Amino acid sequence: MIPVPAAVQRVPWKLIAILSGITGFGLLVLYSAAGGNWSPWALQQGVRFLVFLTVALVIGRFNIKIFEDFAYLGYIGILILLIAVELLGFVGGGSQRWLNLGFMNLQPSELMKVAIVLALARFYTQLPPGSTRTWTALWPALVMIGFPAALVMLQPDLGTALAICIGGVIVMFCAGLPFWWFGSTAAAGVAALPILFSFLHDYQQKRVLIFLDPESDPLGAGYHISQSKIAIGSGGIGGKGFLNGSQSHLDYLPEGHTDFIFATMAEEWGLIGGLVLLGLFFLLLRWSTRVALNARTRFGQLAAAGLTMTIFFYIAINLMMVMGLAPVVGIPLPLFSYGGSSMLTIMTCVGIVLAIENDTKKAGGRFR
């Protein structure tokens, strides 16, 4: 038996395999979506993946204390960036999301998804265990979630605002806040849906209405959903074969390389391809959930659970959208869709979870 060097042992090969599996599959789909070309998408996405994977592995070597110490600072800094977006951000694609820094366009709302989880994890770590069932455990968290969510809604970006809320709420839930608070809030939320609906922009309202009745606008906004379902449904069990998807190749499927990439994949790879991809995502989430369960510190537990939920939220909402179970909100499929912002967020999440795992391993196990 050849002894494996410690440096090699430290590298999380299984995680890298899962991430590469998802992204590699995505590259094949992007290659096909471009009509059998590495450009314009597949090659760039591959290079980007290597860069972000390196970033994630580097983040994973950081001491977990750094994230805990800088959680509030980072949160406030990104909140200021969000406000700056409101004041200075330029308008692109009908919404105000980017901050032009000269050398790149920064989308602070993406960073906020991570920051809110870390900030709340820090908050509940500091909170005395006896206070978790009191008012003190609730209102600061609500304020911390409410501000960025409201700012992102103003941009307007419904999907990201929901992602921020869900990440924060899961941290609160895992922190042990009373169960009935969540139950009654959910009930109140359902009751308040019509009011919330009225706060949505016209085009967002339209999307929701069309989601409820796609037939009402088959050529307009309902077109995305019906073409996506046609692509998935016509793939059948085995798919039409690599490079043979007519829906994506003939442009019937809009956004076939970004938000609707799952449909592009399913058309060519069928149900089997879909289940393989779901399986890879399951392995990724199982890994990060185990990290949360085994984490040594309370901060690690809460942060890992919240970040897992953030990743899951992307996957679930995107898949529900392409299968016609949710309205069309612009949320990409993690690591699979073409695009840098979401990959940056996901890889940052993965890196932090990796840091938590390393922290647990270093200490030789939980609570020791």
Partner 1 sequence: MTFTRRAMLVGGGQMVIGGALAARMAYISIIDNDHYVLESESNRVNLTLVPPRRGWIVDRRGKALANNRVSLRIDLIPDRLHDKELVLRQLRTLLRLDGDAMERINRDLKAASGFQPVAVAEDLSEADYASILVRLPDLPGVAPQRGFARNYPTGAAVGHLIGYVGAPTAEEYQAANKDPLYITPGFRVGKDGLEKYFQPMLRGEPGAKRVEVTARGKVVRELDTTEDKQGKTVHLTIDADLQEYIARRMGRESGAAVVIDCDNGDILSFVSMPSFDPNSFSDGISNSEYSWLRADDHQPLINKATRGLYPPGSTLKPMAAIAAVEHGVDPSERHTCIGGYRLGSRFFRCLGTHGSVDMATAIMKSCNSYFYWLAHRLGYDAFAPTAKMLGLGEEFQLAGSNQRYGTIPDSAWKMRKYDQAWSASDSLNAIIGQGYVSVNPLQLAVMAARIASGRKLYPRLVNRQFRNDPLPYSADALAVARHGMDLVVNGPGGTAGRSRLPLDGIAMAGKTGTAQVRGLNTGNGKSGSWRFRDHGLFVCFAPVDKPKYAAGIVIEHGMGGSRAAAPVAKDFMTFLYDREKAMEALETFEAGWGGTIKERMDRDYMAWKTGASSDPDPEIPQ
Residue pointed to by tokens 């609500």: 142
The region that residue 243 occupies, defined by phi over 0 for left and psi between -120 and 50 for alpha, beta otherwise, is left
CA nearest neighbour of 289 among 319, 311, 317: 311
Question: CA separation (Å) from 230 to 4, 100, 322, 327?
Answer: 50, 38, 10, 17
Question: Does 60 contact partner 1 by CB under 8 A?
Answer: no
Question: Does 125 contact partner 1 by CB under 8 A?
Answer: no
Residue type, 283: L
Residue of 32, 107, 204, 247 interacting with partner 1 (CB under 8 A)? 247
Give 4-11 contacts, CB < 8 A, sequence gap 24+: 10/358, 11/57
Q: Among 34-42, 155-163, 202-210, 271-279, which window interacts with partner 1 (CB under 8 A)?
A: 271-279
> Distance (Å, rounded) from C-alpha 356 to C-alpha 205?
40
| Angle of CA points 16, 20, 22, to nearest 5° | 125
Residue of 24, 140, 146, 176 interacting with partner 1 (CB under 8 A)? 176
Residue of 289, 330, 339, 340 interacting with partner 1 (CB under 8 A)? 289
Question: Does 233 contact partner 1 by CB under 8 A?
Answer: yes
How do 90-92 and 105-106 pair as beta strands? unpaired
**Site pattern 320..359 for partner 1 (x: CB under 8 A):** x--x-x----------------------------------
Question: Does 292 contact partner 1 by CB under 8 A?
Answer: yes
> Distance (Å, rounded) from C-alpha 146 to C-alpha 161?
10
**Site pattern 93..122 for partner 1 (x: CB under 8 A):** ------------------------------
Residue number with CB closer to partner 1 (10 or 133): 133
Cross-strand bridge partners of residue 100: 105
Question: Does 138 contact partner 1 by CB under 8 A?
Answer: no
Contacts with partner 1 by CB under 8 A lie at 170, 173-176, 227, 229-237, 246-247, 250-252, 266-267, 270-271, 274-275, 278, 281-282, 285, 289, 292-293, 298, 301-302, 305, 308-309, 312, 316, 319-320, 323, 325
